[in-house]
Amino acid sequence: MTSDTSLFVQAQGWLDEDWARMEKTLGPRLEALRGKRILVTGAAGFLGFGFLHFFSYLNRTFLKNGRLSIVAADNYIRGCPRWLTELVAVSPDIQLVRQDITKPWPQSTASRFNFIIHGASIASPKVYRQYPLETLDTNISGLRHMLELAKSHRTESILYFSSSEIYGDPPAHEIPTNEAYRGNVSCIGPRACYDESKRLGETLCYLYYQQHGVPAKIVRPFNNFGPGLRLADGRVLPDFCRDILADRDIVLRSDGSPTRTFCYVSDALTGYLLTLLSRHHAEPFNIGSDSPEISMHDLGRMLLQVAGSARQVIHKPSEEADYLTDNPNRRCPNLAKSRSLLGYTPLVDLRIGLGRMLHWYRHFVDLEELAEDKRVS
């Protein structure tokens, strides 16, 4: 096997295919980032992986003569993943900062943030069911501190990640679901800490825009996946991939009938940046893929086909009592608003995206997970 550093360089080159597609799609809009300073919270997570790699790519290509300065903030409670320390080692424009966003941002920060991408959140159902109060604190207090920071820095734009979970379990006539649908969400139950705090986050963004003129942008992600998503994340696709990599049957913890759409990371990031750089303040945009809407059973079968595996999809109930409580039966976005106002169109076919995700896990996963307990000094 090649050395770790060589492996990192190979991974970076392989990922450039995704970032080049994004650069081509975003085009002249990227000029708005030239020479700017940007804060990314939740930098050690999946969204942080995508944004930091893409910004590093831009600084090597499009923005050579006006590079972005990036502050990557996280509390690193799960450690600083190796991909992040390796990326920072070759990206002098990225600065790591340890910060608990449930606490106010240090007043000593002198330099202005032109943009804030607030990606810090507990998004895995497996994790937020274990830490419901921490989830509330992160999604409410953390966002409030970021909005205050944006206010004091006169930030050009702050991006808030709401969730498609705020729609709850829509009736059939509301699927595909557009942004005007107000949701069918339980305020009491094992998912409520996440769903309801994300809904309140949208209200906070609206109020800070109305009362203080903070240019808050709101996106509602629909099931993002791709390179950078931890195998131990606890969401459906990493779990399926773990079974495939271990050469065992894919285990479903439901009857396999619930349906979702899945959006590959480069398409998702493109939608988020289109929103960040838009003039549409304090109004939500669905960002995801609107096809195919696929059942969990068929998703498992598709992934096995992509992997060339002869294994099967089997069903075993979860040992967690609340595993399926309030779990939506269907989830599919109506993208008409995002298409017409942002010019957003997802490009990557689901099978191709699944193939790239599997390739990442098979060849580069140790960059993300070998040193998961490593701490930032």
User: Structure tokens of 225?
Assistant: 């996946």
Residues near 290 by Cβ (< 8 Å), separated by ≥ 6? 176, 261, 332, 333, 334, 335, 346
- Predicted pLDDT at 373: 34
CATH of the domain at 92: 3.40.50.720
- Predicted pLDDT at 355: 98
Instruction: List the 115-118 sheet strands across, edge first.
Output: 94-98, 69-74, 37-41, 115-118, 157-161, 216-221, 284-287
| 100, part of any domain | yes
For residues 40 and 8, which has the higher predicted lDDT (pLDDT)?
40
Annotated active-site residue 167? The verdict is: no
| 257, part of any domain | no
3-state secondary structure of 348: coil
For 77, other C-beta atoms within 10 Å of its C-beta total: 10
pLDDT confidence bin for 232, thresholds 50/70/90: confident
| 376, part of any domain | no
Q: Residue 255 pLDDT > 80, yes or no?
A: yes
- Predicted pLDDT at 7: 76
- Predicted pLDDT at 1: 38
- Predicted pLDDT at 111: 84
Residue in 57, 76, 194, 209 annotated catalytic: 194
- Predicted pLDDT at 195: 94
Alpha-carbon distance 227 to 205, whole Å?
30
| 302, part of any domain | no
| 239, part of any domain | no
Residues near 47 by Cβ (< 8 Å), separated by ≥ 6? 117, 119, 161, 224, 269, 272
Alpha-carbon distance 39 to 37, whole Å?
7
HEC string for 3-17: CHHHHHHHHHHHHHH
| 241, part of any domain | no
Count of domains for the chain: 1
- Predicted pLDDT at 109: 59
Residue range 119-156, pLDDT digits in tens: 999 888 878 888 899 999 999 999 999 999 999 999 99
3-state secondary structure of 158: strand
Domain ranges, residue 93: 4-232+262-292+328-351+365-369
**Averaged over 287-313, what is the pLDDT?**
97
Per-residue CA distances from 140 to 39, 137, 187, 276 (Å): 18, 5, 15, 20
DSSP for 165-197?
GGGBS--GGG-SBPTT---B--SSSTTHHHHHH
Residue range 54-86, pLDDT digits in tens: 999 999 999 988 999 999 999 988 788 989 999
CB 195 within 8 A of CB 163: yes
Alpha-carbon distance 11 to 5, whole Å?
10
What is the average pLDDT score of the chain? 91
| 306, part of any domain | no
| 356, part of any domain | no
* Phi and psi based region of residue 157 (left: phi greater than 0; alpha: psi -120 to 50; beta: remaining): beta
- Predicted pLDDT at 377: 31
**Averaged over 211-234, what is the pLDDT?**
95
Find where tokens 């995206």 sit: 353
User: Structure tokens of 20?
Assistant: 């080049």
Candidates 204, 210, 205, 310; CA nearest to 250 is 310
Q: Residue 366 pLDDT > 70, yes or no?
A: no
User: Structure tokens of 366?
Assistant: 């140790």
- Predicted pLDDT at 106: 87
**Averaged over 162-182, what is the pLDDT?**
96
